[in-house]
């Protein structure tokens, strides 16, 4: 399946405001905040020096409340900043969004590509890392900047505190989704390759990034093929009960219902990594990601 989606620039918020297309192709004026994702509320906080705005998801009603026509400061007693609106996001209180004049459009112009997230999902041993690296190489040889976020690798650092129980996998995916969003906002073609077994976690990442800039690639490889490959011997350990909660054995994998690209592999009939990567490159080309 190779679906063509209408291109819309990606990634508001996150790493610096992103774009809703208003400034596409032209420099964004200094002090003008980037576009916010759909459904995002806007709250202007004009600081004495420079303009600041709260991020869409950063608005929490108590902090952003307007009292008697005046925007209430979130506990600040500092003179001169009484018109700032601070926010509470999760456990972060008294925070403010700060935009920069150089935004995603400018970075994309520099790189002559559109930032996006290619999210590769599939069973262990399905070939996610191989596809991610082959795709990265293909795009590199065409002059495009990519960055691979590999689940296994990230668990050596950023996500080393997480296990494989469902809530830790969810946190793993959430963090990688946030990082991927920053890379896309930087104008980079971010290739995330994780099992990401739960549909809801993957969809949450899709919703973080602008929908058309999230390209979900399902490596649909039968369990028996993955198990026969077993490059790390993990399936063997899982079958013998030495690893508990292994995806596909005694832990679930939920295939996507409707994703951008499905790469199908059958027993005895699996395309070479290069031809899989070409399938993704064709999608990126057809949807305008490989040019500014
Ligand atoms: N219980 C269990 N289930 C699945 N996978 C396991 C498990 N324990 C360790 N491993 C190894 O961890 C790699 C998957 O990490 P991910 O971060 O991609 O997983 S997840 O998205 O959070 O489900 C995975 O790497 P890949 O084989 O590259 O997918 C395995 O090597
Ligand atoms: N398209 C393919 N055809 C045949 N073997 C493959 C293909 N892609 C990957 N492999 C092999 O399958 C094994 C698992 O690949 P890997 O990329 O590590 O998978 P994952 O990251 O999903 O665990 C490796 O030994 C790799 O060489």
Structure tokens at 129: 């890392």
**Domain 104-286 indexed as CATH 3.40.50.720:** no
Structure tokens at 195: 């099992």
Given pLDDT bands bounded at 50, 70 and 90, which one contains residue 55? very low
- How much is the pLDDT for 91? 96
68-81: buried (b, 16+ CB within 10 Å) or exposed (e) per residue? eeebbbbeeeeeee
Question: For the segment 190-203, what is each residue's pLDDT rounded down to a tens digit?
Answer: 999 999 999 999 99
Domain ranges within the chain, ordered by starting residue: 39-95, 104-286
Q: Reduced to 3 states, what is the DSSP secondary structure of residue 3?
A: coil
Indicate if the pLDDT at residue 31 is higher than 80.
no
Indicate if the pLDDT at residue 25 is higher than 60.
no
Given pLDDT bands bounded at 50, 70 and 90, which one contains residue 9? very low
Quote the DSSP letter at residue 266: B
- How much is the pLDDT for 184? 98
- How much is the pLDDT for 84? 78
38 alpha carbon to ligand 2 midpoint, in Å?
Answer: 37
Of 119, 125, 126, 148, the one to substitute when testing ligand 2's pocket (max ligand atoms within 8 A of C-beta) is 125
Query: Which residue from 60, 17, 61, 64 is spatially nearest to 36, judged by alpha carbons?
Result: 17
Query: Which residue from 70, 58, 67, 63 is spatially nearest to 98, judged by alpha carbons?
Result: 58
What is the value of ipTM here, to two decimals? Answer: 0.99
- How much is the pLDDT for 64? 36
pTM equals: 0.81
Mean pLDDT lowest among 56-65, 110-119, 203-212: 56-65
- How much is the pLDDT for 50? 36
Tell me, yes or no, if 196 is annotated catalytic: yes
Q: Does ligand 2 come within 6 angstroms of the Cβ of 196? A: no
Give CA–CA dist 59/234, Å, rounded.
44
């Amino acid at each position: 399946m190779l679906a063509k989606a209408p291109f819309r620039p990606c990634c508001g918020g996150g790493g610096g405001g992103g774009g809703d297309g208003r400034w596409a192709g032209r420099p964004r004026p200094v002090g003008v905040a980037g576009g916010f994702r759909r459904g995002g509320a806007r709250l202007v906080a004009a600081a004495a020096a420079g303009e600041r705005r709260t991020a869409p998801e950063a608005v929490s009603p108590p902090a952003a409340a307007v009292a008697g026509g005046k925007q209430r400061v979130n506990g600040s007693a500092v003179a001169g900043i009484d018109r700032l609106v601070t926010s509470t996001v999760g456990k972060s209180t008294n925070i403010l969004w700060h935009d920069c004049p150089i935004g995603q459009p400018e970075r994309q112009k520099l790189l002559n590509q559109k930032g996006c997230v290619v999210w590769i999902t599939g069973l262990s041993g399905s070939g996610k890392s191989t596809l991610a690296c082959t795709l990265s190489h293909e795009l590199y040889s065409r002059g495009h900047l990519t960055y691979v976020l590999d689940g296994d690798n990230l668990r050596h650092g950023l996500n080393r505190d997480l296990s494989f129980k469902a809530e830790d996998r969810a946190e793993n995916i959430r963090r990688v989704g946030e990082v991927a969003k920053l890379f896309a906002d930087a104008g980079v073609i971010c290739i995330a390759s994780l099992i990401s077994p739960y549909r809801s976690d993957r969809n949450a990442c899709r919703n973080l990034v602008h929908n058309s800039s999230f390209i979900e690639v399902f490596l649909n490889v039968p369990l028996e093929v993955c198990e026969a490959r077993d490059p790390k011997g993990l399936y063997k350990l899982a079958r013998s009960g030495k690893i508990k909660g292994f995806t596909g054995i005694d832990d679930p994998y939920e295939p996507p219902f409707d994703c951008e690209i499905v790469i199908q592999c059958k027993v005895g009939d699996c395309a070479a990594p290069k031809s899989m990567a070409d399938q993704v490159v064709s999608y990126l080309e057809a949807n305008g990601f490989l040019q500014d």
